[in-house]
Structure 1
């Protein structure tokens, strides 16, 4: 399978093998999206007398995070070097921790692609941050887990007020909160062209999805997930979606900060973030919380875990989409964290957002499908944004080569 060829790869050949694994990644992502949408619509009870909606987003999060942490642990242990201490394998200690410098250890993930954090004026604080700190690392993991645990219920609740195509359309603007949170939370500065690229890619994908024919085709199916149709339903759904996007941006920016400050792999980060997510959601699931919109939509006084298990017992047809949601989410995260480690959150989100557009363009070539005028316009805007990125990168590389050649010429003349 292309999946494992992508996972067992050195950084040198990562991009090449990612191209080979595109089919598997797209298939996993599509099955995950279908399972997520399926979990938002009512399920028939075992006696066939009623259709009820699954109202346990924390239980869903627990299933996926537990499966993701298990997948990451298996991957890490398979890749473990002989004689390597377990703490070092898990990224909780380094053999040369005292020599750990403050320079980013994850390549372009912390370079130009994700901006530069402003240096601290206090030299002592700067030296302390350069040393490996297990406590600081675990706190960052916990912070990411809190953001993820908080974001998931809002995304799930938004589907009760807006259609799935509308949800996808809103998610196409994810580049904006990712960049915004990097600036607000960690004072990262981006090159000016980066803001232009983010604007063009976001605008192009939004235009592409808005004028897509897929929205009309799936209208009858997607609207079936909307269970709240009041006069302010769209506004409430949009508010939930904005909160979800803001928390997603905070998550991605914090992950960039972890890679910038600590030498960890994507799978090590995936293990601990999902482990903390599992602990958080499990703790909340066993508390007899009152009715809280979005966070605890179950009946007052009952634990969400008890309600979820009872729902699974009385609605067994939920098991298949729940397993698909957990398994495909875990496998997809292996790709996500590998890309995040080497290329950073902005590149990751750009790849994620443009994946659907490139899939549609591939189907045009292979199956002679037709795109609307609006879709071609959106495609042109996205390609223009990507071209700006490529042009600037090519110019910078050329400038560096010229400087290197001049330095070599000076050395030879001496």
Structure 2
């Protein structure tokens, strides 16, 4: 080390002691191009974050007092960010747009009303897989990665009651049985399943709420703007970091309607995630998941054979008074056909917690056994 570097190090240490703040080596790029709320909205968040324990680089319109890289347009901003990552000049980025490849999705963080609990939404943008069932399985892993990087050692997991949730629950239970630790938490509603109701979303029952990215995107927007009229995001931490197998760029997404308070939180979210080694945890957990049969479980989503409706003779109609739940909406018709193939009359219906199969009292136990054997429940 030369004398100039030694002198700089001593001066930096002296400044840190005097200010009571010790800066890390973490550098975060923040883009200030494209906000619907104006450039000052973002610049204010950048300037108000300057005293934090990290360095900030500005990409877009140069900002006085910060190292800046001029870029105009989403494509140019994305190009500059990629170059900064490749050159190891930044550890994370906070931006309104980035073209993620399929296989990468973002995990947002909200603050739930009333209790003020932080909850991770897995996921909110991007797509872990083109198949929504497979994507939600991977989203669960992504959510666990982000929660662990932010200091939650054993985060609880719930699956939002949307299309595909029951299938995802079965596949995740299989992954868990194979040795990949998933800390499921039951719903606070009386049924107590791992499928989360709307009440659980508002209450923040799990640390991680699993859903598809389109649903997660809506959830983030509702939590962020419900106090501000819908067009100015004030609360929460944004749409979160990009995560995926072998993806090593921590890119935190905000929206063009994100306000200064939320952008400040997103910058803080980026710092805390990088400090918690989000990329390293991602590599480790994906390795563990694959050792527990993740690839085989993902591939098994496509393997289920459907009964041919033309080959099935509908049994004589019966009065159906009993119900069997726990079947996903995507499989309810197949479940009914499968029972009919086994000479049991069944009808599909919708209960208060989701789809159900209606069965006569006499056939209830037999029907359950058939559906369990075929892995519908």
The interval holding the TM-score normalised by the smaller chain is under 0.3
Calculate the TM-score normalised by the size of structure 2: 0.27
The structure with more strand, counted as a fraction of residues: 2
Larger radius of gyration: 2
Calculate the TM-score normalised by the size of structure 1: 0.26
The structure with more helix, counted as a fraction of residues: 1
